[in-house]
A and B are shown apart, each in its own frame.
Chain A
Amino acid sequence: MEFKILASNNLKECLSLLKEGCKPFAGGTDLMVQLERGVLKPQTFVNLLNIPEFHGIQVVERKINPAEANSESYLRIGSATTYSQLIQFLQADAKLRQAFAPLMEASFQVGTLAIQNRGTVGGNIMNASPAADFPPALLLFDVWVELTSFDENHSTCSRIVHYPEFHVDYRKTLAKNHEVLTALWIRMDSGLRTNEKWYYEKVGTRAAQAISKVCFAARMGHGEISPRLVMASVAPITKILNHTQKLIKMHRENGEIGYSRISEVELRNALVEDISPKTDIRSTAEYRFEVAFRLVKHFLSIY
């Protein structure tokens, strides 16, 4: 058997091919590298780039969160949106650019211009590498992922999953076989407030393009807004640093103004609970932990 790729320009046909066992192929910036390295078994792909439902960025009023009574404003980002398209969209609107600045920064850092022009936000999520650059930025906001498939009655059906729950283990997501990611839904209200500070730093061997040794995204504001700290490449999945967040919140509730009040020991102990970096071809576990610690410390110092 050989590698093949099939064309498709409508959703139903695409879903039908996926149900028959074809694998989705979007920007291809990771799949083609896997192919080159010989780690993929010969299989048939279906090209997602000509399906209209996977494209476009719009603001949509919708009821998504089952816990909410009313519909809300969401930013719907088609899964085949490239990083360049997302950058262009955000650059064109000052309010959105300010509210979702970390998404723009992540898009620039994901790779070189040539990669930004082909790589898709859906691909980064579904490829589910623990080193993926977009998820840490995404997890700063309230994000839902829309999965679509063909059911037994040959009807198109979609379901929505809350993104923080989507990644379950190393390269494993809650997506079922034959399901394809159609769009991301970001609640507009979860954007950065004007007094919030944010941080996105990817540590790697080459500024323009690298698989990260550590990638860290964070946001923090005043009042009731909880700090959100997220890290990639330090666990089998992208990690929300729950213990570290709790520590920061606790110090804030004690009325402490500067985060220099958090001792190094306290911070290291919280981080140990949150991350489990490994040694691999890119870095040692000890180096990753030290970089992770310094990134969080740097973020706290600039707040």
Chain B
Amino acid sequence: MIEFQLNGQKVKVEPEKGMTRLLDVIRKTPKKDKENEFFTGTKEGCGEGECGACSVLVNGVLVNSCLIPVLQMDGQDVKSVEGIVPDLFEDTLRDSVERIEAQGIVNSFLKKGGAQCGICTPGMVVATAALLDKKKKLKETTLSRDEIRQALAGNLCRCTGYQKIIDSVKECFDEYLVNAHRVVEKRVD
């Protein structure tokens, strides 16, 4: 049996179905405790690894899920967009740094108009999360627009012309990552 973690849930796939694309398995996986809801945030844009709409994180690493046979995910930890930006009304994350960071990406995209039709947005959010994780690990406190372009170069958008997406990522980094702990401190008193 192929077994892996998807957004904190255990997923099982028969070995005979090992060539099924990770993308298809994700989109057919039901959310725990939510009838008739599936992890359809991850999109198929091209099916060839060119557009990034299917981007997910495998063990924290950015990949195109349309190019991965699910057998290779056995024992791995997969996070798609729903697992990276959890339900904004999730009480367990209230007032934590994690919540502010997770909210941060969505809030910034909303604030700066980084989405129009929204089909590329899940992929953009996942690529953004990968970039923010990298910056956190390296403890870097500045982020240039050029760096953002490099990090999101695998994600195509047909609507926005990209500038507002870059604005959103920059806003997210500047506002939330650097100031998150300050916001939490304030709320505690």
User: Interface of A with B (CB < 8 Å)?
Assistant: 2-7, 25, 28-29, 32-33, 36, 45, 47, 49, 84, 111-115, 117-118, 207-209
Contacts and interface: CB of A to CB of B under 8 A. Distances in A.
The 3 closest A-B pairs by CB, nearest first: A112-B154, A208-B153, A32-B67
A155 B72 CA distance: 27
Contacts of A45: 19, 69
B180 interface: no
B68 A114 contact: no
Contacts of B154: 111-115, 208-209
Interface residues of B, number: 28
Interface string B46-87: 011110100100000111101111011010000000000000
Contacts, number: 78
Contact of B151 (A4, A32, A113): A113
B15 interface: yes
B69 A113 contact: no
B91 interface: no
Nearest to B155: A112
B72 A47 contact: yes
B8 to A, nearest CB: 22
A32 B21 contact: yes
A47 B49 CA distance: 19
B49 A117 contact: no
Contact of B64 (A47, A84, A114, A208): A114
* Interface hub of A33, A36, A114 (most chain B Cβ within 10 A): A114
B35 to A, nearest CB: 32
B63 A117 contact: yes
Contacts of A25: 69
Contacts of A207: 153
Contacts of A36: 47-48, 66
B49 to A, nearest CB: 6
A135 B84 CA distance: 37
Contact of A115 (B64, B71, B74): B64
Contacts of B18: 4-7
Given A28-B72, A33-B49, A112-B153, 20 more contacts: A4-B19, A5-B18, A25-B69, A28-B68, A29-B49, A32-B69, A33-B48, A36-B47, A36-B48, A45-B19, A45-B69, A111-B154, A112-B49, A113-B153, A113-B154, A114-B154, A117-B62, A117-B63, A207-B153, A209-B50
